[in-house]
Structure 1
Amino acid sequence: MIGRPRAAVAGLPEYKPGRSAAQAAAEHDLAEAIKLASNENANDPLPSVAAAVAEAALGMNRYPDHRCMEVREALAGRHGVGLDQVTVGSGSVGVLQQLFAAYVDPGDEVVYPWRSFEVHPVFCATSAARAVTVPLADHAFDLDGVAAAVTDRTKIVVLSTPNNPTGTVCTTAELLRLLAAVPDDVIVVIDEAYREFVTDPAVADPVEAILPSHPNALVLRTFSKAYGLANLRVGYGVGHPGIIGALDKVALPFIVSGIAQIAALASLVPQAAAELAERVAGILAERDRVNAAMAAQGWPVVPSQANFVYLPVGEGAMDLFVRLERQGLVTRPFEGEGVRISLGTPAQNDRLLAALGTCDPKQ
């Protein structure tokens, strides 16, 4: 290795994105493959958003607005909060990285359930923080265990709800109980990357139900999933002005491209909202259909509140992953635990179900 990288980097757990369809097709000598590994929206971008992006591309020779003011204003209006309570970043994960940069010193503790989003241990390692993990309970978060894991060294608690990869959620009552048990100087992150797919009536909007009474909570959202802007990398955070101000201080210059800002704005207008609602309804219908079909085939399916399903097949995870990939279906395996499968189009989901029908759920 050239130079002298930090010791934390040498042992860093690398974030591994889902394999591409092209990789799988080439490796298994297939004519084509379908990628169901990264929880992307299988639909094309909304037509109105695509048109706005095409026009905005003509201005790519200029720097974007560093503070994303128009997007902030639109989001503040949508959520009924002050402009100083909103920040915009490179996806919700980009805002989370800014939070680590702003708050976590070497030796500080960060508490999060596990298994969860794979970037959490990466951010802990790069910050030289101590990761304190709390095992899942029946594929869901044990928030009492999370509260018990908080010490005077804890700076941040990170909760991805719906959880990636299990698709389970924290109810509003559970979150409020956790926040009541956590010191006010510990920031509790409620990462809702899959918020638009949640149908559980016990889950209220935390911006309205939690933030007013708990200034140490931070809500993260993204345009990558339901809005279908994964390629453009734009997300946001809503929280107390003190937290938002700290996040803004550590933001890289011009981190959100002008094209991404235009796409986000176009996604927030009433016309796009109606289009989005129709598409989300289609995804939810497919989620119900796929879940029911998998269960009928004998697969153990975790009830999902996201745009993916999770099969906790334990030691059979890698075998199932390979079997599906050989049939041109790229999924996301977690060795010894399970397989996460993103929902595709109805035709792609039919192909998935047919492939699962050739596999034995008990192996």
Structure 2
Amino acid sequence: MADRKLPVARKALETIKPYVPGKPIEEVERELGIKNAVKMASNENPLGPSPRAVVAMQELVHKVHLYPDGSCHYLRGKLADAVGVGPDQIIVGNGSDEIIKLLAETYINPGNSAVMANPSFSEYDFAVNLMGGECRQIACVDFKHDLESMAKAITPDTKLVFICNPNNPTGTIVTKTEVGAFMSRVPEDVVVVFDEAYYEYVSHPEYCSGLEYVKKGFKNVIVLRTFSKIYGLSGLRVGYGIAHPELISWISRTREPFNVNSMAQVAARAAIDDEEHVALSREENQKGKELLYGKFEEMDLPYWPTETNFIWVNIKTDCRPVFQAMLREGVIIRTGDIFGFPEFIRVTIGTEEQNQRFIRALTKVLGK
């Protein structure tokens, strides 16, 4: 059979770098012939899902032959009550990742730009490039958003600005004062996206949620949050956005029907009420954070204080061989090279047992 030409894909796809997720436990165990591996790479809640969410899903199992509520009516209502806005100010997505993509589909045309920090969450870059836009990546200062430089990078073609607060992969935040100065310089026709995936873990007194601006009536601000982190529902893929009703209306036009499955909707509704699970998750995270800080200091490894459930650490050597050696010890971590920092790792704060196992493995691998 004669060779046939491959259909030409959109030019924008030439710039797309596929997302590389953390290695699954099953894959590591299968490839290396080991058992009982622990995954400390993807910032999942080590305590598992909200027990209330589990019960809610079990009760729904016999109804999964029916399509889900396409508008997420009850979940939007529950979320609206929880954050103090109207249901028309909420959009629910297949993870907050989907809402990032919807934002790009709504606002980015070829020739438009978006401003973001570097390093930060890679999905911003993906979504903007997918629509043929330009990504203006502004280097962090001491691994923290440089909001002053980000404001200067905004030009008449800029449509979106992404502020990951707390930032992934560094765990740092920008403060109320810094956000206020930044917002005073942002044109009204530029959408500011506050990605607050780790909001529930934050304890810093100077933290500023973008929700303050939504409640003040800013029409160009959207706040993204998720059930994938502290609520322990990563496998269900459910996140949400909070914004002015008009902004939500425009974004909703790009949303696919039935984008959030039934299990995700009922689990999220139940998880919102599970204050005990959230409180316990925060408490265990704080204990693990303090333990790991101490161990890193003993090992003379610089780390950045975090407002999340992960820690950004300088291991002072090439992270790739360390990553491979840690896999052989049954511990999965995230390498910093994918963010452009080959001597760094990002490690999820786990249970006490997982944290101790991680430290034992890292000590062995680094010869500490």
TM-score by length of 2: 0.93
1:163 to 160, 167, 170: 167
Instruction: Please give the alpha-carbon distance, in whole angstroms, between the structure 2 residues aligned to 1:71 and 1:26.
Output: 38
1:250 to 243, 251, 254: 254
Q: RMSD of the TM alignment (CA)? A: 1.7
Q: Is the 8 A contact 2:12 2:132 kept in 1?
A: yes
Instruction: Give the secondary-structure state (helix, strand or coil) at the position aligned to 2:184.
Output: helix
> What residue is the counterpart of 1:184 in the other structure?
188
> What residue is the counterpart of 2:72 in the other structure?
68
Return closer, same or farther for 1:208/1:171 CA change in 2, 3 Å cut-off. same
> What residue is the counterpart of 2:356 in the other structure?
350
Q: How does 1:1-363 map to 2 (within 5 A)?
A: 2-208=6-212, 211-212=215-216, 214-269=218-273, 272-313=274-315, 316-335=318-337, 336-360=342-366
Instruction: Give the secondary-structure state (helix, strand or coil) at the position aligned to 1:289.
Output: helix
Instruction: Please give the alpha-carbon distance, in whole angstroms, between the structure 1 residues aligned to 2:292 and 2:25.
Output: 21
Deviation at 1:359, TM superposition (A): 3.8
What amino acid does structure 1 have at the position aligned with 2:139? Answer: P
Structure 1 ranges of 4+ moved more than 4 A: none
CA offset digits 1:143-174 (Å, max 9, x no partner): 11101111111000011111111111111221
Deviation at 1:213, TM superposition (A): 5.2
Q: Percent identity?
A: 33
Instruction: Give the secondary-structure state (helix, strand or coil) at the position aligned to 2:269.
Output: helix
Worse-superposed segment, 110-119 or 274-283: 274-283
Deviation at 1:314, TM superposition (A): 5.8
Instruction: Please give the alpha-carbon distance, in whole angstroms, between the structure 1 residues aligned to 2:343 and 2:103.
Output: 30
Return closer, same or farther for 1:60/1:209 CA change in 2, 3 Å cut-off. same
Instruction: Please give the alpha-carbon distance, in whole angstroms, between the structure 1 residues aligned to 2:227 and 2:26.
Output: 25
Instruction: Please give the alpha-carbon distance, in whole angstroms, between the structure 1 residues aligned to 2:134 and 2:12.
Output: 12
Q: Is the 8 A contact 2:326 2:332 kept in 1?
A: yes
Deviation at 1:310, TM superposition (A): 1.0
Instruction: Please give the alpha-carbon distance, in whole angstroms, between the structure 2 residues aligned to 1:259 and 1:26.
Output: 29
Instruction: Please give the alpha-carbon distance, in whole angstroms, between the structure 1 residues aligned to 2:10 and 2:250.
Output: 25
Worse-superposed segment, 138-147 or 335-344: 335-344
Deviation at 1:315, TM superposition (A): 5.1
Worse-superposed segment, 10-19 or 300-309: 10-19
- In the alignment, structure 1 segments of 5+ residues that lack a partner are none
CA offset digits 1:165-214 (Å, max 9, x no partner): 11111112211211111111101100000111111110144313664153
What amino acid does structure 1 have at the position aligned with 2:262? Answer: G
Deviation at 1:256, TM superposition (A): 0.2
Q: Is the 8 A contact 1:95 1:236 kept in 2?
A: yes
What amino acid does structure 1 have at the position aligned with 2:110? Answer: P
What amino acid does structure 1 have at the position aligned with 2:276? Answer: A
Return closer, same or farther for 1:337/1:240 CA change in 2, 3 Å cut-off. farther
Instruction: Please give the alpha-carbon distance, in whole angstroms, between the structure 2 residues aligned to 1:138 and 1:145.
Output: 14
Deviation at 1:11, TM superposition (A): 3.8
Worse-superposed segment, 222-231 or 72-81: 72-81
Worse-superposed segment, 93-102 or 329-338: 329-338
Instruction: Please give the alpha-carbon distance, in whole angstroms, between the structure 2 residues aligned to 1:278 and 1:325.
Output: 29
Instruction: Please give the alpha-carbon distance, in whole angstroms, between the structure 2 residues aligned to 1:61 and 1:7.
Output: 39
TM-score by length of 1: 0.95
